[in-house]
Chain A
Amino acid sequence: MARYLATRAIYSVLVIFGVAVLVFFLVRLGGDPTALFLPPESSIEEIARFRRQMGFDRPLLIQFGEFVWRALQGDFGKSLRYGEPAMRLVWDRFPATLQLSAVSLLLSVVIAVPLGIAAAVNRDSLTDRVGLFFSLVGQSFPTFWLGIMLILVFSEKLAILPPSGRGTWQQLVLPAVSLAAYSTAIITRLLRSSMLEVMQADYIRTARGKGLSERVVVYRHAVRNAAIPTITVIALQVGALLGGAVITEEIFAYPGMGRLAIQAIANRDFTIVQAFVIFMAVLIVAINLAVDACYVLLDPRLRKS
């Protein structure tokens, strides 16, 4: 088992290296990255100076080597706008994003897991229909639009929740709800279908044949098996939540990494964008590793005796 996780860990490092390559070439997609960093009205002298300063005039391979070398030390260059190391700026905003994503995920799981199980167990019942309806609606409108509508109703019209900022729990409610909608829908739907499939399995028939009550059959024998594919989906949702946080933070003026990244794009502050993408990748890869460990705990078939 340790060996399996070690293999995954080494692979993860390779994946992150791949992301670093991606990020390096990302800013060079349009050719010379100088144009990307400087405003269009910059003078030729300014451009030439900036290019020398950033080392963009040197051979690509050397630039890449230096990028990787510095990245290994956590150095992604300084923000042009704030003059501070880009990674530190991202890191400073991380707790805010973590809080928002964690609360949203918790909200999704708390709603979706009981709903998904209940829908599958009482197939074609009212619960099932309600669950299916919400899962369809939840994944069919844009997150940012939901955010705006929540602000309209709860902040503008009812004036019971603040539309922006961070600090109090009230400020967390609207962004967390709007961010959780999509994930809740997805997790409900997938848990329902996993449960339906597991309930068809031969070992469920065996459990019933033993005379176990339906409650024991569902909660002891079925849920644990359905959990395995569902964990995968929840892990994928963490990625989606972190991505979705970008736009949600923008709507609610929530001071997280996502908002920082969007402002950086607007300000042509691409060192921040690079640091942000890498940081996200490390985060997601780490979560996937944790999920791999979860599988080993949940599924004895993956344990080596």
Chain B
Amino acid sequence: MAEPLLEVRDLVTCFEADGGEIAAVDGVSLHVDAGETLSIVGESGSGKSVTSLSIMRLLPKPAGYIRSGDISFEGEALRDKSEADMRRVRGRRIAMIYQEPMTSLNPVFTVGQQIMEAIELHLGLSRRDARARAIDMLRLVGIPAPEDRIDDYPHHMSGGMRQRVMIAMALSCEPKLLIADEPTTALDATVQAQILELLRKLKRELGMSIMLITHDLGVVAETCDRVVVMYGGKIVEEGDVRSIFRKPLHPYTEGLLASIPRIDETRERLHVIPGIVPNPRDRGAGCRFASRCAYVMDECRARLPELRQIATGRNVACFLAEERNR
């Protein structure tokens, strides 16, 4: 099998907070193959965003740092790279878009200036060519009259338009991997549909890989090939999108799926995952989902279940996985 585009092995990322140390990402291994869309799903505090910032080495300093693990991209170890070498990866080979289109663009520069900046830096184009390319990119992401809009400031644009600009900027240097961190969470449903459609189209046309971070399983079902489900800093389930949705093996994935309000069926009551996401300080020795799990056993509280392969490409961290797969 070909080497994956991105491979993360045993990543542990910690944050310093109030004198203590919290492992926001606690031993995560995952990979993204060329041309595929991988989704990382989880609720707030699951460690999904921190994983992506670790890959980009953009953790907030000095509070956050990678404790251990390897990250390799196209066969190169990103953790060993100097800061200068890492800058040639960011924006050029791995690009990122973020949750908040309203605050992710610098308010004092035009959108054109901000897109051209990356093009001039990485592709070495002249200002004039960079501008032409920026206009092309704006057209590609579906901004009408890009020759005029290129000189607009971010505050002239709606949230959906700004997210298109962010995408144009991210894709301007034709990266191999696009990390999209909750790219539609802050947007309205119809705008979300526009942006997801755009991402699908661009992926087809440009042949890149996407790592999509989201909490919305609906978004996952529509856009992704494979899914990684995270809970409490750990991967609890991994597999291709069909098998996960058809037969979730981890009780958390199952609960998450069941609690989505669906419009195609009527239920009197919604399914509920009881309890609250536990504070990372109060993690015990056992399974992190134990306190909210409907199938909890004594063993779950005593010992942390390892992520094990249950079927081809299907990994689950639950003692009952085999039984549930039958």
Interface residues of chain A, those whose CB is within 8 Å of chain B, are 200-203, 205-214, 221, 224-225, 298-301, 305
Contacts and interface: CB of A to CB of B under 8 A. Distances in A.
Contacts of A225: 106-108
B153 A211 contact: no
B289 interface: no
Interface stretch (B95-103, B191-199, B264-272, B314-322): B95-103
Given A211-B89, A211-B122, 6 more contacts: A203-B103, A203-B104, A207-B117, A209-B91, A221-B109, A298-B108
Nearest to A302: B155
Chain B, interface SS category: mixed
Contacts of B166: 206
A210 B91 contact: yes
Interface string B77-98: 0000001100111111001101
A202 B100 contact: yes
A206 B105 contact: yes
22 contacts: A202-B98, A202-B103, A203-B103, A203-B105, A205-B58, A206-B98, A208-B58, A209-B56, A209-B96, A210-B91, A211-B87, A211-B90, A211-B118, A211-B122, A212-B117, A212-B118, A213-B84, A213-B87, A224-B108, A225-B106, A299-B107, A301-B155
Contact of B108 (A200, A209, A299): A299
Contacts of B114: 206
Nearest to A300: B153
B220 interface: no
Interface in B266-310: none
Interface in B42-69: 56, 58, 60
B169 interface: yes
A230 to B, nearest CB: 14
Nearest to A208: B58
A228 B14 CA distance: 35
B121 interface: yes
B58 A211 contact: no
Contact of A208 (B90, B121, B169): B90
Contacts, number: 73
Contacts of B90: 208-211
Of A210, A212, A213, A299, which is in contact with the most chain B CB atoms at under 10 Å from its CB? A210
Nearest to A200: B60
A14 B318 CA distance: 73
Closest 6 CB pairs of A and B: A211-B91, A210-B91, A211-B90, A202-B103, A203-B106, A211-B87
A210 B117 contact: yes
Nearest to B107: A301
Interface string B125-149: 0000000000000000000000000
A214 to B, nearest CB: 8
B89 to A, nearest CB: 7
Contacts of A213: 84, 87
B156 interface: yes
A300 B155 contact: yes
Given A202-B100, A206-B166, A300-B153, A211 B121 contact: yes
Nearest to A227: B108
A178 to B, nearest CB: 36
Given A211-B90, A301-B153, A206 B117 contact: no
Contacts of B121: 210-212
Given A298-B108, A301-B155, A305-B156, A209 B95 contact: yes
Which of A207, A224, A225, A298 lies at the interface centre, i.e. has the most chain B CB atoms within 10 A of its CB? A207
A205 B104 contact: yes
A207 B83 CA distance: 15
A201 B98 CA distance: 12
Interface string B109-127: 1100010011001100000
A175 B196 CA distance: 64
